[in-house]
Amino acid sequence: MPETFKAILVSRDADKKQSVAVTDLTEADLMEGDVTVAVEATTVNYKDGLAITGKAPVVRHWPLVPGIDFAGTVLSSDHPDWRKGDKVVLNGWGVGETHYGAFAGRARVNGNWLVPLPEGMSAHDAMAVGTAGYTAMLCVMALERHGIVPDRGPVVVTGAAGGVGSVAISVLSSLGYHVVASTGRSSESRYLTDLGASEVISRDELAGPGKPLAKERWAGGVDTVGSTTLANVLSMTTYGGAVAACGLAGGMDLPATVAPFILRGVSLLGVDSVMAPKQLRLEAWRRIGSDLDHAKLAALSTTIGFDGIIQAAHDIVDGKVRGRIVVDM
């Protein structure tokens, strides 16, 4: 009898009605790939919430095991870079969207998609960072490449109490930035200042229709919200500043004007984690190892088991999750 492992499977019927179930799979059920990994930890990201609830068309292969990131140990490999026993991390590359993903005891993937688990980090730690944290680091690196260093002025982080926001605040404050955290949950103010935010503002200040140019408040931004929030963040960015945009928690639209770009030389920096080239990933994970205060990781993450994934998926799309959720498999 082949060994079985638990997996979450999303399916849809002839009327395209989506359902989700916990099932048992064997390695023979997994999709093509040259490395098989024992998944030791994973996370529930906003995108995983969308995949499981069906609130947005994240899943593009049916049925599918969702879960866009994992950390684990290589069980077998036909790839030159990986051997049995290697500790690895995976983020993105369509895993959990078009390729069977992390919400299963095992995953079979293309070895080119894997990066080594950073030195000194456990699978659990890496997933406390997860795709959200790795994306936050990509945003910080984008700002740095644009010359937005701490001396240039404050940096605003929107969707502050979420996963990307929480890690962005921790990293930016460790690097010496003055961080302005924008949140819709005033009850999380203490959590945000403990992570390193110097100021906490209400998301309402950035939510309404804004002016093309408003009072200059920050040199940079990490925006996870999009829509009017991003438009307002841009309108309040100082001359020559830059905003790294990675999310759409508030909407996919961008009702902005070109005024900040053409009158203040502000730059909008797009950040994508899914197809980011390997060199950038390796650099981001190296920086996570060096620039993220590991003590803060424990403060910003909650741990659940495999059986809690589906509920957590609903909670994250309802905006009820604080920081990061780690799933110990």
Residue of the chain from 53, 173, 183, 189 that contacts ligand NDP (CB under 6 A): 183
Residue of the chain from 142, 179, 249, 256 that contacts ligand NDP (CB under 6 A): 249
Q: Which is nearer to ligand NDP, 150 or 319 (CB)?
A: 319
Name the 3-class secondary structure at 214: coil
Residue of the chain from 271, 300, 312, 313 that contacts ligand NDP (CB under 6 A): 271
The distance of Cα 274 from the centroid of its chain, to the nearest Å, equals 10
Our finding on whether 210 is near ligand NDP (CB under 6 A) is no
Name the 3-class secondary structure at 21: strand
Exposed e or buried b for every residue in 33-43, given b needs 16+ CB within 10 A?
A: bbbbbebbbbb
Our finding on whether 59 is near ligand NDP (CB under 6 A) is no
Binders in 211-240 for ligand NDP, by CB under 6 A: 224-225, 229
Strands (E), the chain: 4-12, 18-26, 35-43, 69-77, 87-91, 106-109, 114-116, 155-158, 179-183, 199-202, 218-223, 237-245, 267-270, 301-305, 324-328
DSSP assignments along 94-108, one per residue:
TBTTTB--SSBSEEE
For residue 149 the two structure tokens come to: 């260093």
Pairing of strands 155-158, 179-183: parallel
Residues whose CB is less than 8 angstroms from the CB of residue 15 and which lie 6 or more positions away in sequence, other chains included = none
**In angstroms, what is the minimal distance from the CB of 229 to ligand NDP?**
6
Our finding on whether 156 is near ligand NDP (CB under 6 A) is no
Q: Which part of the chain contacts ligand NDP (CB under 6 A), choosing from 34-42, 106-114, 244-252, 255-263?
A: 244-252
Rounded Cα–Cα distance for residues 329 and 317 (Å): 22
Q: Which is nearer to ligand NDP, 4 or 302 (CB)?
A: 302
Q: Which is nearer to ligand NDP, 12 or 185 (CB)?
A: 185
Rounded Cα–Cα distance for residues 125 and 323 (Å): 13
Q: Which is nearer to ligand NDP, 75 or 207 (CB)?
A: 207
Q: Which is nearer to ligand NDP, 35 or 325 (CB)?
A: 325
At residue 12, φ and ψ (nearest 5 deg) are: -145, 150
Our finding on whether 131 is near ligand NDP (CB under 6 A) is yes
Our finding on whether 314 is near ligand NDP (CB under 6 A) is no
Residue least distant from ligand NDP (Cβ): 162
**In angstroms, what is the minimal distance from the CB of 92 to ligand NDP?**
7
DSSP assignments along 313-329, one per residue:
HHHHHTT---SEEEEE-
**In angstroms, what is the minimal distance from the CB of 67 to ligand NDP?**
13
Residues binding ligand NDP: what is the number (CB under 6 A)?
32
**In angstroms, what is the minimal distance from the CB of 281 to ligand NDP?**
12
Residue of the chain from 118, 154, 159, 241 that contacts ligand NDP (CB under 6 A): 159
Residue of the chain from 154, 163, 196, 221 that contacts ligand NDP (CB under 6 A): 163
Residues whose CB is less than 8 angstroms from the CB of residue 204 and which lie 6 or more positions away in sequence, other chains included = 184
Q: Which part of the chain contacts ligand NDP (CB under 6 A), choosing from 20-28, 128-136, 230-238, 279-287?
A: 128-136
Our finding on whether 160 is near ligand NDP (CB under 6 A) is yes
Our finding on whether 173 is near ligand NDP (CB under 6 A) is no
Q: Which is nearer to ligand NDP, 269 or 271 (CB)?
A: 271
Owner of token pair 């040259």:
34
For residue 205 the two structure tokens come to: 């200040």
Residue 270 DSSP class: E
* Residue ranges in contact with ligand NDP by CB under 6 A: 45-47, 131-132, 135, 159-165, 183-185, 203, 224-225, 229, 246-250, 271-274, 316, 319, 321
